[in-house]
Amino acid sequence: MNIEEKLELMKIMFNPKNVAIIGATDKVMKIGSFVGMSVLGCGFKKNIYPINPNPKYQNKKILGKVVYPSLEKCPEPIDLVGIVVPPNAVLDSVKQAIENDVKAAAIITAGFGEVKTDESQRENKELIRIADKGGLIFIGPNSMGFYSSEDKISPLHLGFGWMFPKPGNLSLISQSGTMGTILCNAIPGIRYFVSSGNEASLTLEDYLQYYAQDNETKVIGLFAEGLRDGRRFKEICKETTKKKPIIFLKAGITKTGARAANSHTGSIAGSLNIYKSVFKQTGVIYAEQIMEFLYLIKGALNLLPLPNKELLRAGIVSGGGGFIVHLTDLCEKHGIKVVDLNSEPNGPKLIEDISKHLPFYWSHNNPVDMVATNNPESSQKIMELMLNSDCFDVIFTMTSVSWLEIIKYMKPNNEYGERLKEMMMMGNKNRLNQVVDHEINLCLTHPENKIIYISLNPTLGNPIYDKYEENKIMVFGGNFETAAIVLRKLHDYQINCNPRT
């Protein structure tokens, strides 16, 4: 089957009119049950057909859906099947799908190409041969399935990852199902996610090409242990990065990691230096570790486009001196210009204006150390002055939410501690929500400036920061050192690839 034929069939796979699950079961904690609940739980509203030949399911229902003994007994032709049967039944399930003119499948079952026995390798080759001859494309085997919001009204999660994605503009490919599930939980808006598994039929390069051609995909994230077709990958990336960023986290970069990759998905990991060379030639953004990968994706969605300047001009403002000194070092280290207000055209005027709101011993330059000023009105006015000064392209500041969260969970030792805690919250129990609304409004009223919030607390999975994400506002949590790295890599991508954003 050629690439064009695969891409046409992938249109059916990602937006089917119905789904059948071969191996569906009502046994709790079984994969066949998980997959059915995932399809329903993520909002698929079209027809679902559980398939199980076991006589005990005759005239019965699973999850409220009538069970059929085979595909041919379904009341309509099937577009897509999920296969969750034992390994020895996979080939028969694929043959049944082909006999019923099904063109796409997701094979969840493991035990094929990743197993290095002669029997498993023979079965893997036979699976590929039968599917290719029958005109069937499939995800996997050894996959946790996939998610598609191509139909936003009826998104599909045909898999068993513990996740509830919402439609969005990020498209992911992960050779690790677990890693893909983590990504889908950490990033709220997903267009497509594929746990590619062994890639016996569809490969990472196939999914990448499909995403590249999709107008609703704005950012592509790849977690991979190895490639099947390096030349094709390079060609796709070279054209795609002109339009949208591709962010790549490579696993299996050590000798031991490469061995683990080969036993996990059957991938040949390859030299990291070769990968980095390809990334440099094609404009792919390389992530060094998982948190950087996550924030590069979030940054690509929320920060791009950045100003097209040789160096980004950064402002840094905070109530604490140590934080801004450290962040200044990080910016300098990663090629971000921390503006000297004494040499910036509008800088002296900004220093004069800020001085009206701070004690005489403030830093009188950028970074702006507000010397523990606890007056919210002064802090707000200083941010407004900096945003309107035309001295900065981006402004880093610690979100007040970070401190308020710390205060909220403090456990005072006695009544004086309780009174001190109340003073810290300024006697306002709703202050946390007010701060969130204020910081979001500040960004929305100054869209030409990029405000980057820093939190001392982890933000992933914290519902407090959902509103920031919904409004495309960047918050770096926990390991805030990542902020400067991400900003630099995204800026380099934009300058070098000049995407049409």
Side-chain-side CA neighbours of 401 within 13 Å: the count stands at 26
Q: pLDDT by residue for the chain (501 residues), tens digit each?
A: 899 999 999 999 999 999 999 999 999 889 999 999 999 999 999 999 999 999 999 989 999 999 999 999 999 999 999 999 999 999 999 999 999 999 999 999 987 767 777 787 888 899 999 999 999 999 999 999 999 999 999 999 999 988 999 999 999 999 988 889 988 988 889 999 999 999 999 999 999 999 999 999 999 999 998 899 999 999 999 999 999 999 999 986 655 545 454 544 444 445 788 899 999 999 999 999 999 999 999 999 999 999 888 899 999 998 766 788 889 999 999 999 999 999 999 999 999 999 999 989 888 999 998 887 667 678 889 999 999 999 999 999 988 888 787 887 789 999 989 888 888 777 666 778 888 998 999 999 988 878 999 988 888 778 888 889 889 999 998 777 899 999 999 999 999 986 554
The residue out of 301, 317, 340 marking a domain boundary is 301
Query: Rounded to 5 degrees, what angle do the CA atoms 244, 249, 253 make?
Result: 145
C-alpha–C-alpha distance, residues 332 and 487, integer Å: 12
The H-assigned helical ranges of 146-247 are 177-186, 204-213, 230-240
CB 302 within 8 A of CB 474: yes
Q: What is the three-state SS of 201-214?
A: CCCHHHHHHHHHHC
Nearest 5°: the CA angle 195, 201, 205 is 65
- Spacing of C-alpha 493 from chain mean position: 18
Report which secondary-structure segment, H or E, holds 145.
Answer: strand 145-148
207/224 Cα distance (integer angstroms):
13
Q: 263 and 338 share a domain?
A: no
Same domain, 338 and 241: no
Return d(Cα 454, Cα 326) in angstroms, integer.
13
Q: Do 197 and 142 touch, CB atoms closer than 8 A?
A: yes
Say whether both 208 and 124 belong to one domain. Answer: yes
Domain count, the chain: 2
What are residue 139's DSSP bridge partners?
A: 106
Cβ within 8 Å of residue 471, ≥6 positions away:
440, 443, 444
Same domain, 261 and 355: no
Domain that holds residue 66: 3-301
Selection from 121, 164, 167, 112 nearest residue 139 by Cα: 112
Q: CA nearest 243: which of 62, 501, 461?
A: 501
The answer to whether the CB of 430 falls within 8 A of the CB of 454 is no
- Boundary of a domain, candidates 277, 301, 325: 301
- Other beta carbons within 10 Å of 427: 8
DSSP-assigned letters across all residues of 45-93: -SEEEEE---GGGTT-EETTEE-BSSGGGSSS--SEEEE-S-GGGHHHH
Asked whether residue 8 falls in the same domain as residue 54, the answer is yes
The single-letter DSSP state of residue 307 is P
Select from 273, 301, 329 the last residue of a domain.
301
Find the radius of gyration of the CA atoms of the chain. Answer: 26
Verify that 322 and 380 share a domain, yes or no.
yes
Q: Which residues contact 409 (CB under 8 A, 6 or more apart)?
A: none
Phi and psi (nearest 5°) for 36? -60, -40
Give the CA diameter of the chain. 84
- CATH number of the domain at 440, please: 3.40.50.261
Length of the chain: 501
Encoded amino acid at 499, one letter:
P
Q: Could you tell me if 85 and 224 lie in one domain?
A: yes
363 and 294 in a single domain? The answer is: no
Q: Shortest CA distance to 81 belongs to which of 63, 99, 56, 107?
A: 107
Query: Looking at residue 120, what DSSP letter applies?
Result: H
- 274 plus 297 within the same structural domain: yes
User: Distance from first CA to last CA of the chain, Å, rounded?
Assistant: 34
**CA-CA distance, 249 to 176, in Å (whole number)?**
12
Three-state DSSP state, 191? strand
Q: Are 297 and 325 in the same domain? A: no
Residues 6+ away with beta carbon under 8 Å from 99: 71, 72
- Clarify whether residues 262 and 341 are in a common domain: no
3-class DSSP state of 18: strand
Please report the pLDDT score of residue 371 as a whole number: 80
Q: Are residues 278 and 347 in the same domain?
A: no
